Copies of this chain bind each other. A is one copy, B any other.
C-alpha cells in the first residue's frame, strides 16, 4: 500500500517543479523577454498555473490529506499542516467565483491605468465597485470555512496567521504618534545644512558593479543568484537561483542602490530557506509581513544606518569618481534620512510611510464592510490625508488612484508593509541585544553574524513554526510598534 504522506510529498514536489519553472519564466518576462514573446509567454504561464492548480486540487489530494501519517518529527508534521493550508486555500473558493474575479480584476486593472492617466475616478468607480463586490463574496466564503472575520480571511492569504485584532492597537498608536513626530523631524531637519545631491550622469555598468559589490557585502550568494534590470525592482526565481532586479537612473544612483539593498533582504530570506525542504510546503517562506521584515531590516535598519553609510561612502566615491561635499558621510546620511510630507506612498520615507498605510487600511476595511461607498472614496481619502499627513491631494491621480492594489482585488495587503516595518525594527533591536558588536560589524561591512542569526531564527526555519509566530519567537515579544517608534526617534531626532 502506498503511503498517503509519501504520495503527497511527491505531488507537492511536482507542483514545486512547475511553480519553479513559472518563477523563472516570470523573471524572464520582466528582465529578458522581447516584446514579441508576450503572447506565447502568457499562454505558457497560464498553462503552468492551470496545471499547478489542477495537481493541487485533484480529489485524491483530500483523501491523502485525511489519511496521511507523517513521520513523528516536527518538520514532517509542519509540512503536513502546510500541505493542508495550500490545499484549503486552493479549494475553498468556487471556481466560478475565481474566474469572475480574474476577469473583473484584469478589466479593472486596465481601466485603473486609463483612469489614473486621465485623473478621472468616475471611470474607475464602477469597476472598483464590481471588484469590491466580488472580494466581499470571496471574504465571506473564506471567513465561513476558516472561522475568521471577512477582513482577517483576506489578510490571512497574504500573511498567514495574522489577525487585525493583533495590530489594531499598534496602528492606532502610530496614527496618534507619527503626525507629531513628523512635524518634529521636519523642523529638526530644517535646521541642518542643506543636502547636496551627487552629480551624474552615473554609468549603468558602474552602478551595477557597485550593486553587486554591496550585495556581496550583505551576503548574497552569486553562485545561487543574479542581478539584472527590469522596469520595477523585484526578487524572483528560486532559493538556489535567485533573480534580483533593479533599474538604473542616469541622474541618481542613490535610489537604485537602496532598491538593491531592499531586494537583497528579500533574496537572502529565499536563499536561506531550509535546504532539506526545497520542494515541500514547510520549506517555503512566510507571507508578506515576514518577507517585508527582511527587506526593511536590510534597507531601513541596517542599510540606512549611520555605520553602514559611513562604510559605503568610500565605495560610492570610488565607483563614480565622486568628490566634494556630496560624498561626505554626513551629507550622505542626510540624503538617506530625508523626511518629507508627500502624497505618494511609494516615495514616502519611513516616518510617514505607516500613515499612508493606515489611511488605506482604514478605508479598505470600510469598503469591505460597506461602511464606505466607492463613490465617497475620493473624499474619504482627502479627509484621511489631511488628518494623518496634514496634506491634501490636489487630484485623484496622486490620491486614491495612486495604487494598483484595490484594482487587483488585493484587500488585506497594505497592512503588511507597516507590519513588516514594525517587525524589522523589533528584529534589529533583538539582534543588537544578542550581538552587541552589531554597529561595529556594520561599520566594517561585516554582515555574517547578522545573517547567521537571521538564518537561524527566521530563514532556515521555513514554515516550521505556527503561522504568525516566527517574529514573536525570534524576538521573544509579540509584534508591536514600540521598536519602530524607538528606531524612528533614535534615527531622526537624536542628533544632527
Does A21 have its Cβ within 8 Å of any Cβ on chain B?
yes
In the bound assembly, the distance between CA atoms of A379 and B199 in angstroms comes to 71
Cβ–Cβ contact B279 & A37, under 8 A: no
Which chain B residues border A45 with CB–CB below 8 Å? 21
Q: Collect the chain B residues with CB atoms within 8 Å of residue A240's CB.
A: 36-37, 39-40
Give the complex CA separation of A241 and B24 in angstroms: 15
- In chain A, positions 8-43 with a C-beta closer than 8 Å to chain B are 13-14, 17-18, 20-22, 24-25, 28, 32-37, 39-41, 43
Question: A222 touches which one: B34, B226, B238 (CB < 8 A)?
Answer: B34
What's the least CB distance linking A34 to chain B, in Å? 6
Q: Does A223 reach chain B (CB closer than 8 Å)?
A: yes
User: Does A278 lie at the interface of the complex (its beta carbon under 8 Å from any beta carbon of B)?
Assistant: yes
- A221 within 8 A of partner (CB): yes
Closest to A36 in B: B224
**Does A225 reach chain B (CB closer than 8 Å)?**
yes
Known: A37-B241, A278-B40. A226 touches B47 (CB 8 A): no
Given A24-B28, A28-B28, residue A225 in contact with residue B47 (CB < 8 A): no
Number of interface residues of A (CB under 8 A): 39
* Cα–Cα, bound, A25→B28 (Å): 9
Given contacts A21-B25, A40-B20, A43-B17, contact A32 B226 (CB under 8 A): yes
**A40 partner residues in chain B, CB cutoff 8 A:** 17, 20, 238-241, 278
Contact A36 B279 (CB under 8 A): no
A17 contacts across to B, CB distance below 8 A: 40, 43-44, 46-48
**Given A18-B47, A21-B21, A223-B36; A241-B41 close (CB under 8 Å):** yes
Answer yes or no: A98 CB below 8 A from chain B CBs.
no
Interchain CA distance A226-B33 in the complex, whole Å:
8
A51 CB within 8 Å of chain B: yes
Q: Which chain B residues lie closer than 8 Å to A47 at the CB level?
A: 14, 17-18, 21
Give the 9 A-B CB pairs with smallest separation, nearest first. A37-B241, A36-B224, A17-B47, A36-B240, A21-B44, A17-B44, A36-B223, A20-B44, A17-B43
- Give me 6 A-to-B residue pairs in the complex whose CB atoms sit less than 8 angstroms apart, sorted by A's number: A14-B47, A17-B48, A32-B32, A36-B223, A37-B237, A40-B278
